[in-house]
Structure 1
Amino acid sequence: MTNHYWVIPGSENLHESQESHGGSSAPNPLVQLDPGLFIWTILTFILLFFVLAKFAWKPLLAALKNREDQIKTALQNAEQAKDELDKITIKSKAITDEAREEAKVILSQAKASSDKIKQEMLSKATEEADKIRVEAENKIK
């Protein structure tokens, strides 16, 4: 067994199985914990964390805030455009309805006018026919 400060549980069985299969008796460096390397890894991580927190975190947060503001502005613009579209649609419908009503009025006036002209022509034709008939009767008598 090795004289290390920390040994991963189960590493003894790994060494025993290697020896029984004809492997070398040298310990596997991947399963052993080196305290110096462990401490330097932790210190490097902490240092990297503080450097990133100081220099990278603020720009990242600023970029995220900027993107959030852009999205909010785009959503507000889209909502305003939707409201304007709804207003224009309502106005368009009102104008269309008004035009239809006007068309109905014009058609009814045209029909009334054509009926009036038709009646006038019919009455004139009837008067003229009566006048011609009366003249013809007078000539015959």
Structure 2
Amino acid sequence: MRRSLISALALIPGSAAPLLAQEHEAKGGLLSVNTGLSAWTIIIFLIVFAILAKFAFPKILGAVEERERHLAELAEAAEKDRAEAAALVEEHRRLVEETRGKVQEALGEARNTAEKMRSELMEQARREHDELLARGRAEVANERAGMLEQVRRDAAELAMRAAEKLVRRSLDGDDNRRLVQEYLAQVAGPAARA
């Protein structure tokens, strides 16, 4: 179908060429109007236009419309991608701020926990120090009491020996008392100072 149409179109200018040549020779002028030539030109133009309108223009218009549709889709996709990118950037910013807040909160909690642990450890160390000090004081007091008791026993032992010596000497009662009291005063003097 196409070949026959193209062949017909090729024959039309060929058949009109001799007519055009004859008319041109007869009248010859640049500004003269040749009605036969004008008629054939209009006919050929209308035939070519009809063929183009039937076969070429729909395809060309279809291609143009497809191209426009494709460009519109690309523009729409680009706008959608831009909007998505903006949303992702905003989400990223929000996540960064949220993470920054969580990090600051965690650091604050860690500082508070460390301060609390330090306070607890200091308090525990103070308690242990106070307990050790109290235990040491109690031990010193017990040792002192034990030593004083030992000194008293020793003093009593010495008093007994002194009394024994006094009994052997057979002194009278006033002398015995006086000697025992002097002896106890001598023994108690250094013990009372300690």
Q: TM-score range by the shorter chain?
A: 0.5 to 0.7
1:57 to 51, 60, 71: 60
- Please report how far the alpha carbon of residue 91 of structure 1 lies from its aligned counterpart in structure 2 after TM superposition: 0.6
1:96 aligns with 2:99: yes
- Alignment-derived partner of residue 109 in structure 1: 112
- Alignment-derived partner of residue 46 in structure 1: 48
In the alignment, the residues of structure 2 paired with residue 57 and residue 51 of structure 1 have an alpha-carbon distance, to the nearest angstrom, of: 11
Structure 2: which 5+ residue stretches go unaligned?
Answer: 1-9, 15-40, 145-194
Structure 1: which 5+ residue stretches go unaligned?
Answer: 1-35
Greater Cα radius of gyration, structure 1 or 2: 2
- Alignment-derived partner of residue 177 in structure 2: none
- Please report how far the alpha carbon of residue 103 of structure 1 lies from its aligned counterpart in structure 2 after TM superposition: 1.0
- Please report how far the alpha carbon of residue 39 of structure 1 lies from its aligned counterpart in structure 2 after TM superposition: 1.8
Aligned residues: 105
How high is the TM-score relative to the length of structure 1?
A: 0.65
Higher mean displacement: 101-110 or 63-72: 63-72
- Please report how far the alpha carbon of residue 53 of structure 1 lies from its aligned counterpart in structure 2 after TM superposition: 5.2
Higher mean displacement: 107-116 or 44-53: 44-53
1:132 to 126, 130, 135: 135
In the alignment, the residues of structure 2 paired with residue 64 and residue 39 of structure 1 have an alpha-carbon distance, to the nearest angstrom, of: 35
Other structure's SS at 1:77 match: helix
1:69-128 per-residue CA deviation (whole Å, 9 max, x = no partner) reads 111110110100100110011011101111110111011001101100001100000110
1:123 aligns with 2:126: yes
- Please report how far the alpha carbon of residue 51 of structure 1 lies from its aligned counterpart in structure 2 after TM superposition: 3.4
